[in-house]
Amino acid sequence: MAVEASARVPVSSDAVQTRTAGRKRRFQLSGLLTHFVLIIGSVFALLPFVWMVATSLKTSDQATNFPKNADLGATLRMFVPTNPQWSNYKDAWQSADFGRYFFNSILVASLCTVGVLITSVLAAYAFAKLDFRGSGLIFGLVLATMMIPHEAAYIPNFVIVRNLQWIDTYAALVIPWIASPFNIFLLRQFFRALPEEIYEAAALDGCSRLRFIWQFAVPLSKPALITAGLFSFIGSWNSLLWPLIVTSQDSMRTIQVGLSNFLNSEQNEFHLLMAAATFTILPIIVIYFFAQRQFVEGIAKTGVKLSAPTLH
């Protein structure tokens, strides 16, 4: 930028040089300050995780053994567990039916994800490409459901599910969540960009509508589908209130409900609670590290609205 300015404004080369040097120094200093602030921010973001893992590796006594007097050094040393108790993970895993909860959550989250992608692709394609009667009105109504707070619908949904005799079934955990107005909206944008001629050409070759969607529309919207799928999986894995309402048997609990119950029964066994917390978020953390580009760019690019409400 200094070069541009010097090209436009006739000043002596000496003056340009000193000014550039001054700006550079200032820039470096502000860069250092930026890093300083960002590092402090990172410490705040990460500290709870570090504390969780540190606690999960202690004995029950070590976990709550804070220094009684003002001793900052001793407090900070508590971040490093001496003699790590790996058996805590086994103990926590065995003190409730976590294997079953994991199985339930993996099943439910996978079914929700596949279901939501299928219904969204079909509906989005129809709204984008088929000018059927009433499509505008119905699309408007679908978008309107985006404004409805999920939580306000939980009580009547509970009554509906109870009448369908779905309490303590996978149907109750999956079926209400296999449609997403936002995904329909998002994918419709993608499909609208598809030229109609491609379909006409494919139809001449005897390609059916469904096969066309599967072979052309889906691959073209892959980035959006991956982002939508990731958010759906994580949203389902992390959801607590709905599974809490529609399950009562231990064998039907999802991981979050199981962990919530574990918190009630082990109120003060922090080493076990933190071990269970760690293995509960581990799958999501792994997915996040492998797919973080899709997450972050998905939010930034494909439409931010994505799922502030559905995730939490």
The single-letter DSSP state of residue 95 is H
Rounded (5°) CA angle 42-44-46: 65
Per CB under 8 A, does 171 bind another protein?
no
Per CB under 8 A, does 142 bind another protein?
yes
Count Cβ atoms within 10 A of the Cβ of residue 236 and give its class: 0-12 exposed, 13-18 middle, 19 or more buried: buried
Coil, strand or helix at 130: coil
Number of chain residues interacting with another protein (CB under 8 A): 102
What number of other Cβ atoms are within 10 A of residue 169's Cβ? 16
Question: Nearest approach, Cβ of 282 to another protein (angstroms)?
Answer: 10
Question: Nearest approach, Cβ of 61 to another protein (angstroms)?
Answer: 10
Question: Nearest approach, Cβ of 132 to another protein (angstroms)?
Answer: 3
Per CB under 8 A, does 270 bind another protein?
yes
Binding pattern for the stretch 188-227 against another protein, x by CB under 8 A and - elsewhere: ---------------------x------------------
Closest by alpha carbon to 209, among 128, 114, 117, 111? 128
Of the residues 18, 66, 83, 197, which one makes contact with another protein according to CB under 8 A: 66
Closest by alpha carbon to 170, among 229, 232, 100, 94? 100
Of the residues 42, 94, 165, 215, which one makes contact with another protein according to CB under 8 A: 42
Q: How many CA atoms does the CB half-sphere of 280 hold within 13 Å?
A: 27
The encoded tokens of residue 189 equal 């944008």
Of the residues 92, 108, 111, 184, which one makes contact with another protein according to CB under 8 A: 184
Per CB under 8 A, does 40 bind another protein?
no
Of the residues 3, 130, 137, 204, which one makes contact with another protein according to CB under 8 A: 130
Per CB under 8 A, does 138 bind another protein?
yes
Site for another protein in 95-124 (CB under 8 A): 118-120, 122-123
Give helix 222-238 / helix 181-192 axis angle, nearest 10°. Answer: 170
